[in-house]
């Protein structure tokens, strides 16, 4: 899991060219870029921007496999006992990371038994997710 900045303007930034639309409101369900003319569902535009931000935060681990978070061992309590890693809501749950990747540790859309998919790429005109035809300018 990748945590991006809470204030990342993912809905207000064009996923094709990066132009920022400060006038976009929550009522606007379609993002229309004033720079390149992209017209796309607001949530899909945000998802593409979040995926791009997540791809930029990955660092290859020592084994060469991309990792999205760096882990560190839990601090040992001062009395020398083992740290409590259980969730109080579910005492059987544990937050220890398994040594071998499995379905729970595979990346989004990634099967742990298969090689990781290709990295995200910017939308292409051939992708039929969005209309890349510029909208006509509104008369003032």
Domain count, the chain: 1
> Does 92 reside within a domain?
no
* Structural domain range at position 52: 7-59+121-140
From residue 111, how far is each of 10, 47, 58, 95, 122 by CA, in Å? 27, 21, 18, 21, 23
What is the 8-class DSSP label of residue 41?
Answer: E
> Does 112 reside within a domain?
no
pTM of the model: 0.43
Rounded CA gap, 16 and 48, in Å? 9
Rounded CA gap, 136 and 127, in Å? 22
> Does 23 reside within a domain?
yes
Give the tens place of pLDDT for each residue, 79-138: 766 665 555 555 555 555 555 555 555 555 555 555 555 566 667 666 655 454 555 566
> Does 85 reside within a domain?
no
Give the tens place of pLDDT for each residue, 18-36: 999 999 998 999 999 999 9
> Does 38 reside within a domain?
yes
> Does 25 reside within a domain?
yes
Rounded CA gap, 119 and 124, in Å? 14
């Amino acid at each position: 899991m990748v945590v991006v900045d809470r204030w990342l303007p993912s809905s207000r930034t064009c996923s094709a060219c990066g132009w920022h639309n400060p006038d976009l409101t929550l009522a606007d369900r379609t993002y229309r870029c004033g720079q390149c003319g992209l017209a796309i569902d607001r949530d899909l535009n945000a998802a593409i921007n979040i995926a791009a931000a997540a791809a930029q935060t990955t660092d290859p681990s020592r084994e060469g496999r991309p990792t999205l978070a760096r882990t560190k061992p839990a601090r040992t309590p001062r009395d020398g006992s083992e740290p409590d890693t259980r969730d109080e809501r579910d005492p059987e749950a544990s937050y220890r990371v398994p040594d071998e990747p499995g379905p729970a540790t595979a990346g989004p859309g990634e099967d742990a038994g298969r090689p990781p998919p290709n990295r995200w790429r910017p939308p292409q005109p051939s992708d039929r997710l969005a209309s890349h035809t510029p909208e006509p300018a509104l008369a003032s």
